[in-house]
Amino acid sequence: MENNFVKALLSTDTWRTSLVSHLTFLQHIRTYTMTRLIVLGLAGKSDWEKANVDAGCEVISDLHKEIYEMVFGKDDATKAQIKKKIIEETSPKLLGFLEKNAGSQWYIGNSMTVVDLTISGLISNLIKMKILSTVDNYPKLKAIQSRVEADPKISKYLTKRPDTKM
């Protein structure tokens, strides 16, 4: 049974605008299953692309879990210990994986997907939290972030986005 409301919504540009306004929320979902469902047009075009988008999102989810523990941890000593682990181990390992597997323009395919949006938000958060000082060691990820932020609607949103911890 088809849902006419969903079809009508997805046929407009409203859902993409709404997605941009909820990027921060989407980054904190424990699993990206719902995120990928919400962004139907950005999940990849082929089964191969969709599988790679899923894999990239799950890698980022692993890093987000540790960042969440660091930000919302119970005490300063624990937070500092988690941050040290993220800086020295987790971040280089997972960003290295993403860099190695990223395509020349976008993470996968020839158009923006949800993993590109998530990479952009992740990099912004890592720099904001002083986990990374630069992304120069990850030129493909840096280029993806630049392309995402250059999108007119995303750029407009970023200028108005409220400041949050993550």
Stated pTM of the model = 0.75
Number of Cβ within a 10 Å radius of residue 8: 10
For helices 91-101 and 139-150, angle between their N-to-C axes, nearest 10 degrees: 80
Count of residues for the chain? 166
Task: Write out pLDDT tens, residues 66-111.
Answer: 988 888 888 899 999 999 999 999 999 999 999 999 998 999 989 9
Report residue 105 CA to chain centroid gap: 16
What is each CA distance from 126 to 1, 100, 166, in whole angstroms?
43, 19, 9
Task: Write out pLDDT tens, residues 33-68.
Answer: 555 555 567 778 888 888 888 888 888 888 888 988
Cα separation, 108 vs 50, whole angstroms: 9
Q: Output the pLDDT for position 21.
A: 45
Please check the confidence at residue 4 and state whether its pLDDT lies above 60.
Answer: no
For residue 23, give both structure tokens: 């990027």
Q: Output the pLDDT for position 95.
A: 94
Q: Output the pLDDT for position 11.
A: 52
Residue among 72, 6, 65, 2 at smallest CA distance from 41: 6
Question: Which run of H or E residues covers position 3?
Answer: none
Can you tell me which residue has the tokens 């990206």?
32
Query: How large is the C-alpha radius of gyration of the chain?
Result: 16
